[in-house]
Amino acid sequence: MITFRATPVSDDAYELGEGPVWDPLRQRLLWVDILPGKVYAGRLGPFTVDQEWSFDGMVGAVAVSAEGALLVAEQETLTRVDPDGTRTSLARVLPAGGGSRLNDGGVDPDGRFLIGSMSLTDVNGATDEKLVRLEGGKLITLDHDLTLSNGLAWVGDRFYSIDSIPRVVYGRDYPDGRREELFRIAGGLPDGMCADRDGNLWIAVHGAGRVERRTPAGDLLAVVELDSPQPTSVAFAGRDLDVLVITSATEGLDPVPPNAGRLYACRVNTAGLPTPYWNPAL
């Protein structure tokens, strides 16, 4: 097993930094800070924050189209934000005030957006949280029995997803295959996830201060250590997709370690798969 060490790149710490997405056409990184309802865009090498968007409630995830329009998963709804700042409501995913919020999301190989939910009231996770796909302006439910829907990744026609409370990583043929449990993570909660060009999964382990590289069968290949005890998500970024970017959180930490909540970066001797652009026409 190989061990890497990630270094912080951001000066600012985020309360619940999440969902990094690399936008290659504009050579920028997008990410969110869930609790204050912020979406950010910035650069790598050197790291800068170039844009910020604010929302009234929490924000779970962000995606981007080839034209630069953002799809933002607000607390309960999906919103389009055009480059000129125009905002358009796309869909209500969760009932208003229903006790859940939208969490991690991602774009499938065809350009459709998927988003999951989590309970705001049950710390052990409700058992009726869901994972849905926005398709033709409608919501298609993939899963309806999750506790805390989290990281999503695609490798070819295989789709991988995480349910954090039971620490399960699932796999299925996409889009219509049967979901099956592949393996479980010990020593922390599996959170955000991405895939590399070799077909392996990189999983942020919240509470353990590490990111794990595992095969789809669960074999541990490498670990990325970082000073922040709460890594939340991962993405490959940079011109060659060879920089692993890691978001982290300060939520619930007392005292807060010096580098907690910052964005981290690490070169891990491999490269990632390109993240598809969101296709608003689908």
d(CA 78, CA 252): 27
Contact call for residues 131 and 119 (beta carbons, < 8 A): no
Task: For the chain, state the CA radius of gyration.
Answer: 17
Give, in words, the CATH class of 2-266.
mainly beta
pLDDT per residue as tens digits for the range 3-52: 999 999 999 999 999 999 999 999 999 999 999 999 999 999 899 999 99
Q: Could you state, in order of their start, the residue ranges of all structural domains in the chain?
A: 2-266
pLDDT per residue as tens digits for the range 229-250: 999 999 999 999 999 999 999 9
End-to-end CA distance of the chain: 41
Extract the runs of DSSP E, i.e. beta strands, from 136-214.
Answer: 138-146, 149-155, 158-163, 168-173, 180-184, 189-195, 201-206, 210-214
Q: Place 145 in a pLDDT band, splitting at 50, 70 and 90.
A: very high
DSSP single-letter state for residue 126: -
**pTM exceeds 0.85 for this model:** yes
pLDDT of residue 26: 98
Q: What share of the chain is helix, strand, coil (3-state, %, to 5)?
A: 0, 55, 45
Extract the runs of DSSP E, i.e. beta strands, from 97-164.
Answer: 100-107, 113-119, 129-135, 138-146, 149-155, 158-163
Q: Is cis: bond before 257, omega within 30 of 0?
A: no
pLDDT of residue 122: 87
Q: Which residue has the tokens 């865009």?
A: 41
What are the angstrom distances between the C-alpha of 190 and each of 23, 88, 160, 213? Answer: 25, 33, 12, 12
pLDDT of residue 124: 78
What percent of the chain shows pLDDT beyond 90?
98
